[in-house]
């Protein structure tokens, strides 16, 4: 595979931004609530503008005309394909989807930056920072809704959501392990099932110490995309390295999402969510260490 050139990376990023704008546009057209609709319409404008900015500033940096076509599937960078056909999302759900998309994009561009150096690296780091900023803007809306009691995301509801997120992650690793033929990868994935079940139990226990009010019986949103990669290939010949890379992405996603939520709450609830974010981050770090060691040995 030939290495990704800066100009091609820029073209791919522009395609990703266009895909993000289309994604938000679809969600806007599927919403009848005027507040939700106008929120998504704002996001369409933000992403369209973002794409133009990347094209304008990026072409200046590389000093040449960018390739005509993207070489990677851009649709997974700043969208959650599973939500594409959702209709009439509630405002909180809409905010959740957008927060996830923005943080996912921030992670993607931060990783992309590391493939380059100099000005190009700085550029993609800046793109990543602007995605984080989009995320913060949305968090601000959610925070205000929570503060004023308009949100369905009470801390009790969030505790329930987190428990279900962890259980879904355990099922995700379980399903991967079952299909996997490589014994080392299989045993790593089985270990991850136990880790996620433990997380769910931890959240249940810790959640009781936070003043949550009642913890509802069900999650109020689709939780399956939080602690797993949005679209994961599931070949039966999954190697250990691929399993580690999938798990690493899943853990980082969860960490970022929990941290985003922690910024939307205050005091004890915020501390609890931050603590859970750290747990996910620690986890991601140990997987990353393993992966680095493996790659160095190879």
Binding to Fe ion (CB under 5 A) within 43-72 occurs at 47, 50
152 vs 195 by CB, closer to Fe ion = 195
210 vs 287 by CB, closer to Fe ion = 287
Q: How far apart are CA 280 and CA 298, in angstroms?
A: 27
152 vs 291 by CB, closer to Fe ion = 291
| Piece of 80-88, 89-97, 190-198, 207-215 that binds Fe ion (CB under 5 A) | 190-198
Q: Based on the shown chain and the rule CB under 5 A, indicate whether residue 252 belongs to the binding site for Fe ion.
A: no
Q: Based on the shown chain and the rule CB under 5 A, indicate whether residue 199 belongs to the binding site for Fe ion.
A: yes
* Eight-class DSSP state of 3: P
Q: Based on the shown chain and the rule CB under 5 A, indicate whether residue 256 belongs to the binding site for Fe ion.
A: no
* Eight-class DSSP state of 83: G
155 vs 254 by CB, closer to Fe ion = 254
Phi, psi of 32, deg, nearest 5: -100, -20
Which tokens hold the place of 63? 């000093």
* Eight-class DSSP state of 4: P
| Piece of 131-139, 201-209, 228-236, 238-246 that binds Fe ion (CB under 5 A) | 131-139
Q: Which of 83, 11, 2, 4 is nearest to 43 (CA)?
A: 83
Candidate residues 93, 131, 164, 225; the one interacting with Fe ion per rule CB under 5 A: 131
161 to 11, 103, 168, 180, 236: CA distances (angstroms): 37, 18, 10, 28, 30
Would you give the distance in Å from CA 70 to the centre of its chain?
Answer: 22
Query: Please, what is the minimum distance in Å from the beta carbon of residue 71 to Fe ion?
Result: 19
Which tokens hold the place of 149? 């009691």
Q: Catalog residues that contact Fe ion under the rule CB under 5 A.
A: 17, 47, 50, 102, 131, 134, 166, 196, 199
């Amino acid at each position: 595979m030939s290495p990704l050139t800066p100009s091609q990376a820029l073209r791919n990023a522009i395609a990703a931004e266009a895909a993000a704008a289309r994604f938000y546009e679809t969600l806007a057209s599927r919403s009848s609530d005027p507040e939700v609709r106008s929120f998504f319409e704002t996001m369409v404008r933000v992403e369209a503008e973002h794409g133009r900015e990347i094209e304008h500033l990026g072409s200046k940096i590389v000093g040449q005309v960018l390739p005509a076509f993207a070489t990677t599937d851009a649709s997974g960078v700043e969208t959650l394909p599973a939500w594409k056909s959702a209709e009439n999302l509630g405002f909180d759900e809409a905010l959740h989807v957008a927060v996830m998309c923005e943080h996912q994009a921030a992670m993607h561009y931060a990783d992309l930056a590391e493939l380059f150096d100099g000005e190009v690296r700085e550029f993609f780091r800046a793109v990543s920072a602007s995605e984080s900023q989009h995320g913060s803007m949305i968090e601000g809306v959610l925070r205000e809704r929570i503060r004023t009691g308009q949100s369905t995301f009470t801390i009790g509801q969030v505790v329930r959501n987190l428990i279900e997120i962890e259980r879904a992650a355990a099922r995700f690793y379980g399903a991967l392990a079952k299909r996997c033929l490589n014994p080392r990868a299989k045993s790593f994935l089985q270990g991850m099932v136990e880790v996620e079940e433990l997380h769910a139990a931890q959240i249940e226990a810790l959640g009781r110490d936070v003043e949550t009010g009642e913890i509802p019986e069900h999650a109020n949103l689709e939780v399956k995309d939080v602690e797993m990669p949005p679209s994961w290939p599931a070949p039966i010949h999954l190697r250990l390295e691929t399993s580690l890379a999938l798990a690493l992405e899943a853990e980082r996603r969860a960490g970022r999402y929990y941290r985003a939520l922690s910024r939307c709450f205050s005091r004890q609830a915020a501390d609890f969510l931050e603590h859970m974010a750290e747990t996910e981050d620690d986890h991601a770090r140990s997987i990353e260490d393993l992966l680095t060691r493996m790659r160095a040995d190879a």
